[in-house]
Structure 1
Amino acid sequence: MNFMLVIYGDDESRLSYQSKVTDSTVPRCVQVNDVRFIAKISLLPPSTATSVRVRDGRRQVLTGPVPETSLHVVWCGVVDVPAIEDAIAISKRIPLMENESIEVRAVMELEGRPPEKPFSEDNNELKMMLLSFDDEQAWTAAGTEAFRAAVNEAVELTHRLNARGQYHAASPLESSSSGKRIRVRDGQPVLTDGPFVETREVLGGYYLLSVKDLDEAIAIAEQHPGVRFGTAELRQIYTLE
């Protein structure tokens, strides 16, 4: 089963981590190099993000990450392990700063998506990650049929992107209530069960995209059904393994 490990922090925690290592490009997962990651994604700082919402049919483009929380995604990886306990054990081995946390979320099985494909070597393309932050309460109120329609809409978007050569991967995540979060307190890992109350919008899924510029990425984000109840955060990928 696939699980996504997501490090939340801020620009300060990212700089703090880099000051702890001799080479600032050392990836977070260097401490778990015996683990096979399906993907390992380092992102440019949260302050470089662009966020997109649609409210009452009108697009809102915000400079910066999702504004309702002070901690944002700084790194993520996907592992294939038998159970969430195995993913938690891996997460506890990844180094964290005092103000960071790792969230462990199951990747939802979803049929109908195009096959994943690696990024090209074209340096003129922007390699982007679209992080879909969902208001789970709003989707619950909208009802099961509305949610299923949104999932189908998201899958259709992957095919349109694939036809244009912009799609590389996409996955929804299981509800935050099934997730786990690890923080470091007094040098020891502390495990918390979801849901997480720090923010109303929680990470609900992601896309890996290649685009020519930020405007093209914003136009894609506007088409994602999640922006009607939540926010699509666009982040440029620093390294992808």
Structure 2
Amino acid sequence: MKYLCLVYSDEQALHNSPDSPHDDECQAYAASLMATGQMLAGEALHPVNSATTVRVRGGQLSITDGPFAETREQLAGFYLIEARDLNEALQIAGKIPPARVGSIEVRPVRQLAGVEPDV
């Protein structure tokens, strides 16, 4: 089953805490998951101030600079993984390096009806 592991952290703490992971540590963990076939995709994101939010209300497009909401933690990246079950997905998520300074939200991926998976 596919799970999306959303990496959340305070952007300041992500890079300035003594427990902060470095890119090479995150890349090494992703490579280890790819070697086992558990990593399907993953990326780090640019800072939240580079975000643009799009909404459509009453057929009208609205574009706003910045994130959807002000929060203490921001979405920093994601890992799309393959796991046997939620327990295995949680074990994988617990080893994602930014979990030391932020949080990892683990959610099962729901396949849309009529859409064939490519993995």
- Alignment map for 1:38-187 (pairs within 5 Å): 126-142=1-17, 149-185=21-57, 187=59
Native 8 Å contact 1:176 1:196 kept in 2: no
Structure 1 length-normalised TM: 0.42
RMSD: 2.2
Aligned residues: 113
Residues 42-96 of structure 1 show CA distances to partners (whole Å, capped at 9, x for unaligned) of xxxxxxxxxxxxxxxxxxxxxxxxxxxxxxxxxxxxxxxxxxxxxxxxxxxxxxx
In the aligned structure 2, how far is the partner of 1:185 from the partner of 1:137?
34
| AA partner of residue 178 (structure 1) | S
Aligned partner of residue 27 in structure 2, secondary structure: helix
* Structure 1 segments unaligned to the other structure (5+ residues): 1-125
Q: For 1:202 and 1:214, how far apart are their aligned partners in 2?
A: 24
Larger Rg: 1
In the aligned structure 2, how far is the partner of 1:135 from the partner of 1:159?
25
Q: Can you give the 5+ residue segments of structure 2 that lack an aligned partner in the other structure?
A: 112-116
Would the alpha carbon gap of residues 210 and 170 (structure 1) be closer, same or farther in structure 2, given more than 3 Å must change? same
Q: Give how far 1:152 is off.
A: 1.5
Q: 1:163 to 1:141 in 2, by over 3 A?
A: closer
Which residue is 1:119 aligned to? none
Q: Segments of 4+ in structure 1 off by > 3 A?
A: 184-187
Q: Which amino acid aligns with 1:198?
A: E
Shift of the alpha carbon at 1:185?
4.4
Structure 2 residue matching 1:238: 3-state secondary structure: coil
> How far apart in 2 are the matches of 1:129 and 1:180?
22
Q: Which residue, 50, 60, 70 being the options, matches 1:198? A: 70
Which structure has more relative contact order (CA 8 Å, sep 6+)? It is 2
Give the distance between the partners of 2:52 and 2:87, measured in 1 at CA.
35
Contact 2:5 2:78 in 1 (8 A): yes
Query: Given that residues 53 and 67 in structure 2 are in contact (C-alpha distance below 8 angstroms), is that contact kept between their aligned partners in structure 1?
Result: no
The one-letter amino acid of 1:129's match is L
- Alignment identity in percent? 38
CA distance, structure 2, for counterparts of residue 205 and residue 197 of structure 1: 17
Instruction: Give the direction of change, closer, same or farther, for the CA distance of 1:208–1:142 in structure 2 (3 Å limit).
Output: same
TM-score normalized by the length of structure 2: 0.79
Q: Secondary structure at 1:223's aligned position in 2?
A: coil
Q: Which residue of 1 aligns with 2:85?
A: 213
- Report the Cα distance in structure 2 between the residues aligned to 1:197 and 1:237, rounded to whole angstroms: 23
